[in-house]
Amino acid sequence: MIKAILIFSNQGKPWLSKFYQPYSEDTQQQIIGETFHLVSKRDENVCNFLEGGLLIGRSDNKLIYRHYATLYFVFYVDSSESELGIFDLIQVFVETLDKCFENVCELDLIFHVDKVHNILVEMVMGGMVLETNMNEIVTQIDTQNKLEKSEADSQLSTCLHPQGGQSLKCEQCRKEYI
């Protein structure tokens, strides 16, 4: 089970934090701080697995991280997950972000936190891996985004039906419309 997913900058500022187990806010902040402390000390050519810090469980939990340019992606997992598998999962996550944001950079993640959360929600649910197929995820995200956008355009209807459609019946909410 994945216990937490964190993304932070080289200076330790968190750009995304998702915890899959209930921790108080103070503990959460402490975990972020401690993780940064552990991970920033690491050299470039050492292995990407660390034993967990003092806060997030003891011997059972591992910290798997990847460093991309100015960002650290950190996954805290317990022993039921394969380390190498999670290592690949981080790669898939970043590639998905890349596809959704078109050449993602740090600023994209900073300013669109909610969108990153939405993508993450499609990949990992309740601490378990939900979907790993990049294209599938991107398709679903796109559909949901379109839904949101059309809602925002028209404030009136509860479900905005596709513009300029031939049929009189909307697939989404099955209402007839004019």
Which residues are near another protein by CB under 8 A? 14, 16-18, 20, 22, 25, 28-29, 43, 45-51, 82-85, 87-89, 92, 110-111, 113-114, 117-118, 121, 125-133, 135-136, 140, 143-144, 147-148, 151-152, 155, 158-159, 172-174
Q: Find the shortest distance in angstroms from Cβ 77 to another protein.
A: 13
Q: At what angle do helices 83-101 and 134-153 cross, to 10 degrees?
A: 40
Residue 138: name the closest of 121, 151, 125, 119 by CA. Answer: 119
Q: Find the shortest distance in angstroms from Cβ 125 to another protein.
A: 5
How far apart CA 73 and CA 15 sit, in angstroms, is 10
Nearer to another protein, 103 or 153 (CB): 153
Nearer to another protein, 54 or 174 (CB): 174
Nearer to another protein, 29 or 70 (CB): 29
CA distances for 110 relative to 8, 11, 104, angstroms: 10, 14, 11
Q: Find the shortest distance in angstroms from Cβ 126 to another protein.
A: 4
Q: Find the shortest distance in angstroms from Cβ 85 to another protein.
A: 5
Q: What angle do CA 67, 61, 22 make, to 5 degrees?
A: 95
Nearer to another protein, 149 or 168 (CB): 149
Nearer to another protein, 45 or 163 (CB): 45
Residue 134: name the closest of 94, 85, 77, 75 by CA. Answer: 94
Neighbouring C-beta atoms of residue 139, cutoff 10 Å: 12
How far apart CA 38 and CA 171 sit, in angstroms, is 51
Q: Find the shortest distance in angstroms from Cβ 177 to another protein.
A: 15
